[in-house]
Amino acid sequence: MQDCICYLRAINHHNSTIHVRSDQCTGEIVSSGTACGSCQGAVALCEYVAASARKNSVVLHHASYSQLVKKLNRSERQGQTARLKNLQSAKALKRLRVHQETWRVLFKLLGTHDVPGLHRIFKNSMWNNWSAEKLLEKVAMARDGKYLPRNYSPWEFDLAIAIYELGGAAALHALHNSPFALPTRTTLIDRRKDFHIRISIGSVNISDILANIETMFSDVGPHHKRVGIVLSMDEVASDGRLCYLTATDEIAGVCEHAETELNSVKMGKNTDVIRIVCEAVRAGKIHVGQEVLVAAFARLDETDYGAKPCLLLPTCKRGSYMDAALHIEKLRQAWDISPYGARLHGPILSMSSDGDPKRRPAYYVHCMVRRMVPSDPLFPLLGQLPGLNLRTGRNFETQDFDYKHTFKRICKLVCTRDGLVVNETVINKGLLALWLEHLTDTDWSQDSLFELLNPNSPSSSTQRVNTLLSPKDPQDVPRAVKLLTLIGDIRHMDTSELDPSEAKTHRSLSLLGETLNALTEPFVDPTLSLSKQIISLVLFAHLACALFMKHGSKFMPLHLYSDLQCMVRTAIFHVAHTKLLDPELKVFLCLLGDDVLEVLFGLARMIGGHSPNVDVDMLGQRFGSVLRLASIFLRHPGWEQHPQRLRLKRSRDADHLSPRNWIGDLRASQCDLTACWEEGVRAAESLLKSFDYEINFSELFKKEGVDLMRPKGGKYPGISLEVDHSIGDSDTNTTLATDTNAPEIDIEAIGSDTTKFPFLSYDGQAELNASGGRTAFTIPEHSIWMELEGGKLAHKKTVLRHFTDDSMDNDYNRSHDRLLRVRYFSIGGDKLDRSQSSIYTSQSRGPGFFGLGSLYETLVVLASAKPPKIGLAILQCTSIKQGSQTLSTAPADEIMHVSSKFDVSRQILSFVPLTQLSQQTPSSPASSTITWAWDSNYTTWDPPPKAGSQKSAPTGTGSGPRLNISVHGTLTYPLFSPKVKSILAGDQILEPIVDSLPTSISRTWIVAETDLQKVEEDLHKRVIRSDEIRQRLQSVGSIRSGYFPYTVSIAPGQTLEHITSSISPPVDQRGSLSCCICNASVKGADRQTHMGSHIRCSINGHLRRLLARYFDS
């Protein structure tokens, strides 16, 4: 084809064709009219040329004209583009240099200055597509304080609120003006209105409770679930002053009696209402509430378990238990009515408190109104547990009392002088001090630095024990847990070298230790599963029941025993309730009681910093702050500070345990209540059997009306009118543990007697309908300013302060009394003078010293004899007091001295007479002598009649038989070895004259008859020699148990007795005596006044004689 050459012949513009001719054309036309063969061959050449022309790039010498033109044009355009590109690159480079300088300046600015709100500036830059120059401009303006970005994120608002609540306005102001540039206080105002609590004034309105429930419980998370609810009630101390509520124009702080005594508490436009309120307070018709009653609902949840208050009521605490019952009924109905209550969060399972004397019977009348029947949903889970009380509230609620408070009450009980009784052994502070000092391998890591650095100091052990038994702070929960734990450790001590009385005491302490260990372990060991916790509580309940049946209120006050049994019962009911709600939910026993409410009180105090005291208005604000923080920490868990060194092994950590610390399996589905109950009962019966106490609980609880809450049947101990000695010593305690004005409560009649129990007829829905069904504030407009005479405006809060402050101190709110300012940080509690060390310590024991646990002899008056006689008694010391100081040991000579200032409390030992036979030898025949052996029991007696022949002596706790008697030191005669034989040797043949000794006794005290006679003669001489000593003789009533007085018939018509009628009993100092001057009969209470009249007459007569002599001269 390359050899073919064609020539262009013509171009037809009409039909767009070209005509070509081959250079080899013959010039002839074929007959068919077609071109010659050479020209026909040019067609392929033309097609080749056309194909080449269609190509974009071809070899230049093959290119057509058009192709060359196109290529030229293309090259020109490329050149133009290259020239423009070079120009644009120069401009871009120039711009980049400027941009680089901008960023350099920006980085330099950021690196050398702290720019407020920098992260929010960058967010604005991204959202608004700012240039670098504008970003630099804004950063520079922010540096100079001319620009502050306000696009706060939710976490910044949360952080600002947390800082404001914890650190106050000053802290937030500092952070607002810092590079963090947090929101100001005014910016947070609207966001801090979420937990506004209504305060009840005078009466409790259900609308206030409903409004507070909505405020506290309306906001729920995406993973919300229904759980059990606890209603907690307690009082918190307030400043006891009136305050003005700006939101409602009311005077708050008056007690509940304002409902009936005042028509209105609204301030209004003048001072009339203020004057009426002040006059009513001065007249005693109403009172300024010194405490605030707080009622709160708390979820039994793993995370959101904090108490949320729904009732704040200032109170003077002069109401009855029926008033408390009405408050509870309103709270219960409000929770059921509110759409944000039971329907959203769950039913009320228990009502808890700290054991308030008026609230306890109120809880009983609420939670004991019906007996569970087989058709009830809980009956299959609880109905087959013998001994469990099945009376509940209308919706199966149970009463509960805080376990931490019961721990403290037990510690207070054992630290009193009377103590408690276990197996006839009085366990009190002195006895515990003696035994605790002998504990080894004890963790004293909570001691002071001096004691840790000087562990071998002579006073170190004593000081440690005194710290536990005489705490500076009686509300110290870790100290209470520590003491209860150490009492439990006593049972592991080596007993091989104990004497008979020590062995007896150790067995009693061991049984008490087992009981207390079963009580505390479920609350302090986070590794326990729910089943183990229930088994331990069931074990405790049955051990306590057995000891209570044996000793009654001498073992434990009725109210304390009842509160503990209620606590155990509520724990078991909680498990059953949770099984019905959701078996996979966890049951946290650490949430029992009202501890979550106590935590709320503590946080409210803590937020106040150096101003912990509050009035009721400020208390509501503090509660709002606490709840606001709780919701923030729930969203940001990492912000909340937790204990950093919580080892969960020290007793001080027990007060900080929360659901997050528990690692045992606490799911309700994994706890078989029937199996746990049976195992706990078996363990209790086995343990009691090892302490010689046979009891069959199954047979016991078959009796009608007998269960753990009333083991003796009859009335419930929890509603007894008896004084609770777990609050303090019987001789100093003036606080009753119950409402003494309350009548006897008939539990069986609660469900139907609306006249006796008016709260049963209360209808919350009707009250709400009567008020229009409104729970939101509908308050008319009012001014916070009051116009005084002369047209001067004054804030109503200032006016109220002037009227209620007697001193007219304008700075009243800033000049609290010092005691008010520090009372929540003060150290109170015991009366131990730590500035002076004890004169005699446990290291003082030795020859010439005697102390706790030692044996003594004394004389007592047998008041039951007619006429009363004087008898010899052998006693075991339980307490030594010198003035106000309690000692564990003292020199015998000082105690027995005629000028002794010691008082010794003790128990009378039961000694039985035995005939001791001496072995026959070739040189001497066999002979017998009388000896006395301790049968390991103590004597109990009735209190002597009030009209007896002696001053009343302190006795044991509770009513019923007495175990303890207090004797002055001059009437004691210590029994030292070798006067006491402590072991029954094999070569002694002892034959009982009356009762045989228990077979379990292998070692006991033996006192020869000759020794008794010698001591008796010595004591008789002391009493006969000094009438003052005779007047100190103490009396015992009729003997209830034990072998006393020590008498025995040794032959027909011949009796050996250590009783005498030759000594006259002491004269009753309270009775009437004849005056030695005028022979008038004068009672003891009037004796001092009567003698004073004689002295006055004598002085006046002497003056008359002197005046007469003067005038005569």
Sign of the CA dihedral with 317 first, then 318, 320, and 325 last = negative
Rounded distance between C-alpha atoms, residue 540 and residue 565, angstroms: 9
Rounded distance between C-alpha atoms, residue 964 and residue 877, angstroms: 10
pLDDT in tens, 861-906: 998 888 889 999 998 887 788 877 777 788 888 888 888 888 888 7
With helix as H, strand as E and coil as C, how does 522-565 read? HHHCCCCCHHHHHHHHHHHHHHHHHHHHHHHHHCCCHHHHHHHH
SS3 486: helix
- Which stretches within 552-652 are classed as H helix? 558-581, 595-607, 616-635
Tokens found for residue 390: 């099945």
Rounded distance between C-alpha atoms, residue 1058 and residue 311, angstroms: 66
SS3 307: strand
Quote the pLDDT of residue 813.
37
To the nearest whole number, what is the mean pLDDT of the chain? 80
Cα 372 to Cα 73, 376, 615, 1049: the distances in Å are: 106, 7, 44, 59
CA atoms within 13 A on the CB side of 1029: 20
* Average pLDDT over every residue of 1048-1075: 78
Quote the pLDDT of residue 870.
92
Quote the pLDDT of residue 429.
85
Mean pLDDT is lowest, of 298-307, 429-438, 671-680, 842-851, for: 842-851
Per the CB < 8 A criterion, the answer to whether 576 and 381 are in contact is yes
Quote the pLDDT of residue 271.
85
- Does the pLDDT value for residue 1071 go beyond 90? no
Rounded distance between C-alpha atoms, residue 955 and residue 945, angstroms: 13
- Mean pLDDT is highest, among 277-291, 604-618, 727-741, 991-1005, for 277-291
* Average pLDDT over every residue of 271-299: 89
Quote the pLDDT of residue 865.
85
pLDDT in tens, 801-812: 877 765 443 333
DSSP for residue 773: T
What are 231's strand-pairing partners?
297, 351
- Does the pLDDT value for residue 1067 go beyond 60? yes
Rounded distance between C-alpha atoms, residue 385 and residue 41, angstroms: 120
Of the pLDDT bands very low, low, confident and very high (cuts 50, 70, 90), residue 31 is low
Of the pLDDT bands very low, low, confident and very high (cuts 50, 70, 90), residue 736 is very low
- Mean pLDDT is highest, among 164-168, 484-488, 947-951, for 484-488
Rounded distance between C-alpha atoms, residue 97 and residue 88, angstroms: 14
Q: What is the pTM of this model?
A: 0.79
Sign of the CA dihedral with 436 first, then 442, 448, and 451 last = positive
Cα 4 to the chain's mean position, in Å? Answer: 117
Cα 107 to Cα 122, 132, 133: the distances in Å are: 13, 11, 12
* Average pLDDT over every residue of 961-972: 84
Mean pLDDT is lowest, of 35-44, 337-346, 370-379, for: 35-44
Per the CB < 8 A criterion, the answer to whether 389 and 708 are in contact is yes
Per the CB < 8 A criterion, the answer to whether 1033 and 1044 are in contact is no
Cα 234 to Cα 292, 294, 344, 354, 578: the distances in Å are: 8, 6, 25, 7, 25
More confident residue, 747 or 249: 249
Rounded distance between C-alpha atoms, residue 551 and residue 512, angstroms: 13
Per the CB < 8 A criterion, the answer to whether 314 and 253 are in contact is yes
Rounded distance between C-alpha atoms, residue 919 and residue 922, angstroms: 10
Mean pLDDT is lowest, of 138-142, 216-220, 354-358, for: 354-358
Neighbours of 1036 (CB within 10 A): 27
Rounded distance between C-alpha atoms, residue 950 and residue 1031, angstroms: 8
Could you give phi then psi for residue 421, rounded to 5 degrees? Answer: -115, 130
| Residue from 677, 473, 666, 465 nearest 582 by CA | 666
Quote the pLDDT of residue 374.
93
* Average pLDDT over every residue of 157-176: 87
Of the pLDDT bands very low, low, confident and very high (cuts 50, 70, 90), residue 543 is very high
Per the CB < 8 A criterion, the answer to whether 267 and 249 are in contact is yes
Tokens found for residue 780: 């008319």
Per the CB < 8 A criterion, the answer to whether 350 and 230 are in contact is yes
* Average pLDDT over every residue of 5-17: 74
| Residue from 442, 433, 522 nearest 482 by CA | 442
Give the CA-trace dihedral at 374, 378, 384, 388, to 10 degrees.
-110
* Average pLDDT over every residue of 614-625: 86
- Does the pLDDT value for residue 711 go beyond 80? yes
* Average pLDDT over every residue of 110-117: 88
- Mean pLDDT is highest, among 367-381, 439-453, 971-985, 1059-1073, for 367-381
Rounded distance between C-alpha atoms, residue 1052 and residue 985, angstroms: 31
Q: Cis bond leading into 867, ω under 30°? A: yes
The CA angle 654-656-657, to the nearest 5 degrees, is 70
Number of helices followed by number of strands (H, E) in the chain = 32, 34
More confident residue, 456 or 557: 557
pLDDT in tens, 815-832: 344 334 344 444 444 555
Tokens found for residue 473: 């702070």
Q: Which long-range contacts (CB under 8 A, 24 or more apart) does 731-736 make?
A: 731/417, 731/954, 736/357
- Does the pLDDT value for residue 984 go beyond 60? no
CA atoms within 13 A on the CB side of 896: 18
pLDDT in tens, 1016-1042: 999 999 888 888 888 889 889 889 888
- Does the pLDDT value for residue 12 go beyond 50? yes
Determine the residue type at 468. Answer: L
The CA angle 868-872-876, to the nearest 5 degrees, is 125
Sign of the CA dihedral with 456 first, then 462, 463, and 467 last = positive
Per the CB < 8 A criterion, the answer to whether 907 and 963 are in contact is yes
State the pairing for strand pair 250-252/348-353. unpaired
% the chain with pLDDT above 70: 81
| Residue from 809, 806, 786, 782 nearest 797 by CA | 786
Quote the pLDDT of residue 953.
42
Q: Which long-range contacts (CB under 8 A, 24 or more apart) does 277-285 make?
A: 277/242, 277/251, 278/803, 278/804, 281/254, 281/804, 285/257, 285/261
- Does the pLDDT value for residue 840 go beyond 80? no
Per the CB < 8 A criterion, the answer to whether 327 and 295 are in contact is yes
Q: Which residues contact 600 (CB under 8 A, 6 or more apart)?
A: 294, 296, 306, 307, 309, 623, 626
Neighbours of 44 (CB within 10 A): 11
| Residue from 942, 234, 935 nearest 600 by CA | 234
Per the CB < 8 A criterion, the answer to whether 785 and 795 are in contact is yes
DSSP for residue 583: T
Cα 877 to the chain's mean position, in Å? Answer: 36
905, burial (CB in 10 Å: exposed 0-12, middle 13-18, buried 19+): buried
Q: What b/e string do you get for 343-354 counting C-beta neighbours within 10 Å, with b at 16 or more?
A: eebbbbbbbbbb
pLDDT in tens, 563-597: 999 999 999 999 999 999 999 999 999 898 888 88
Tokens found for residue 48: 């080749």
